[in-house]
């Protein structure tokens, strides 16, 4: 534990040093770090991560992390506007300024980094597979051959099965993971394969099960407008503090302690601000 704290402290010092010497005053004038209020993109259909309540407010792990990070930027919850941002609209929402930041199970990939500056990651989940509880035919990703797999618009998860691993599943299109869930429960598809935190939220209280056969590491990044390095460095410092203060563990326990997943509470390795 002491080693982890020392390592985290070293990362914080390094991040602070970057902010102090890596950016000029002119270079960060357009950064969101100067804003008194923020519009933050989140999901609305992912239980325990980003879910829109009937009263129009949002809840979940991503929402709690977003509030914490915004607070470290000097923006209290009263000056945050949360906006539903589906997977297919994330890059455009940042580029046009429709949102200032995105906390929406936004996996960092090389392709996305050409369009988005990513802070974090703030958590590293693993891709797994969700099936109906009475289905014993799918025990690992290879068993998805010939099965109906959900294909969400704007998501890369299904591609990691059919393209990266060349598994010949039949994909069934859906606008979002909420629609995948509806189709899985209705027997219109056989499996949903994506990040285990997303699947854990879906499985609670439903006749579904995670097969517990992870096959990738995902990196949940904080999406920022391309080139906003000042914001990237600021949110990275906030993420480090979130873990050091025990708030990350608090948020993870709050939303996933009953899921049976093995939760990681150490500071993730950052990607670097580009």
Supply the pTM of this predicted model. Answer: 0.81
pLDDT for 29: 66
Over the stretch 116-161, which tens digit does the pLDDT of each residue have? 999 999 999 999 999 999 999 999 999 999 999 999 988 889 999 9
Residue 121 corresponds to which tokens in the numbers above?
């990651």
Residue 10 pLDDT grade (very low, low, confident, very high; cuts 50, 70, 90): very low
CATH of domain 126-216: 3.40.190.10
Whether the pLDDT of residue 267 is over 90: the answer is yes
CATH match of 2-124+219-256 with 3.30.450.20 = no
CA angle 41, 47, 50 (to 5 degrees): 10
37-64 residue pLDDT tens = 999 999 999 999 999 999 999 999 999 9
- The band of 9, judged by pLDDT with boundaries at 50, 70 and 90, is very low
Q: What is the pLDDT of residues 58-79, one digit of tens each?
A: 999 999 999 999 999 999 999 9
Most confident of 7-11, 12-16, 113-117, 208-212: 113-117
Domains 2-124+219-256 and 126-216 share a fold: yes
Domain ranges of the chain: 2-124+219-256, 126-216
């Amino acid at each position: 534990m002491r080693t982890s704290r020392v390592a985290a402290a070293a990362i914080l010092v390094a991040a602070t040093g970057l902010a102090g010497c890596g950016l000029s005053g002119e270079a960060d004038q357009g950064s969101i770090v100067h804003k008194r209020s923020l519009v933050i993109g989140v999901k609305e259909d992912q239980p325990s991560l980003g879910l829109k309540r009937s009263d129009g407010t949002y809840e979940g792990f991503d929402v709690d992390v977003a509030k914490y990070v915004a607070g470290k930027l000097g923006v209290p919850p009263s000056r945050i506007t949360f906006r539903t941002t589906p997977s297919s609209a994330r890059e455009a929402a940042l580029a046009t300024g429709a949102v200032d930041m995105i906390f929406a199970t936004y996996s960092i990939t090389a392709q996305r980094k050409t369009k988005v500056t990513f802070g974090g990651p703030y958590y590293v989940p693993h891709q797994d597979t969700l099936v109906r509880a009475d289905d014993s035919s799918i025990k690992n990703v290879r068993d998805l051959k010939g099965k109906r797999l959900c294909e969400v618009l704007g998501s890369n998860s299904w591609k990691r099965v059919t393209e990266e691993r060349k598994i010949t599943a039949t994909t069934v299109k859906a606008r979002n993971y909420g629609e995948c869930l509806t189709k899985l429960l209705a027997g219109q598809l056989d499996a949903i394969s994506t990040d285990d935190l997303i699947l854990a939220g879906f499985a609670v209280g439903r006749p579904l099960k995670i097969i517990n056969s992870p096959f990738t590491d995902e990196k949940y990044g904080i999406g920022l407008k391309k080139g906003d390095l000042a914001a990237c460095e600021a949110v990275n410092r906030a993420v480090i503090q979130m873990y050091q203060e025990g708030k990350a563990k608090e948020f993870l326990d709050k939303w996933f302690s009953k899921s049976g997943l093995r939760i990681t509470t150490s500071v993730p390795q950052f990607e670097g601000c580009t």
